[in-house]
Amino acid sequence: MDSGIFLQRRVREGDIKAFENLFREFYSPLVGFAMGFVNDQDTAEEMVQDFFYHYWKNRESIEIKVSLKAYLFNSVKNFSFKFLEKQQVRRRYAERILAQTEEAEATTFADEMGARELQKEIDHALSTLPERCRKVFKMNRVQGMKYQEIAQTLSVSVKTVEADMTRTLKVLRKSLENYQKEPEIKS
């Protein structure tokens, strides 16, 4: 009778000594074999340890149809392939996240620059207006006051507030023409 089959039967029945003997006999050769796939000693050792844990945990349901040695090496090869696949998936995921992060940072920076430029243009346009027009605009658009409230606060008519807002908005529209248009695409 093949000693591997006998050893496998003892392990299957829960003989910890037989498992320890199997581990001692094959651990180093299996680590060396795994190294050929993963090129990292620590990773190879961890994979072989994981394999032996899996083997012990599932010992009752594992049926070996080839030699025990062939089964062990084939299993470690499969563990290595699964490990490499996971590493590849993780690498692709990390690259995708990095690319998205870089894109988001670039977009955010561009948005911030555009917002700053736009705010400068608005401030410049407002600075060309009379004081009351600026006040009316800020009270309405920044503070959220209604025309009636602005008229009462400034002691002017609602029509005056409307006229000041119309004038302010006209100046802003003219000043911000370049920001409202979509860029032309030349063919």
Express each pLDDT in 58-95 by its tens digit. Answer: 888 888 877 888 889 999 998 888 888 888 877 787 77
CB 23 within 8 A of CB 52: yes
Look-up of token digits 């496998």? 8
Domain 128-179: which CATH number of 1.10.760.10, 1.10.640.10, 1.10.10.10, 1.10.287.610: 1.10.10.10
DSSP state of 12: H
CATH of domain 3-92: 1.10.1740.10
Interval 128-155: pLDDT, tens: 889 998 899 889 888 888 999 999 999 9
Interval 96-121: pLDDT, tens: 777 776 666 666 666 676 777 778 88
Distance, CA of 71 to CA of 92 (rounded, Å):
32
> Which two tokens mark 82?
């699964």
What residue spans define the domains of the chain? 3-92, 128-179
Considering the chain, what percentage of its residues have pLDDT values greater than 70? 86
Distance, CA of 130 to CA of 134 (rounded, Å):
7
Please indicate, yes or no, whether the overall pTM of this predicted structure exceeds 0.85.
Answer: no
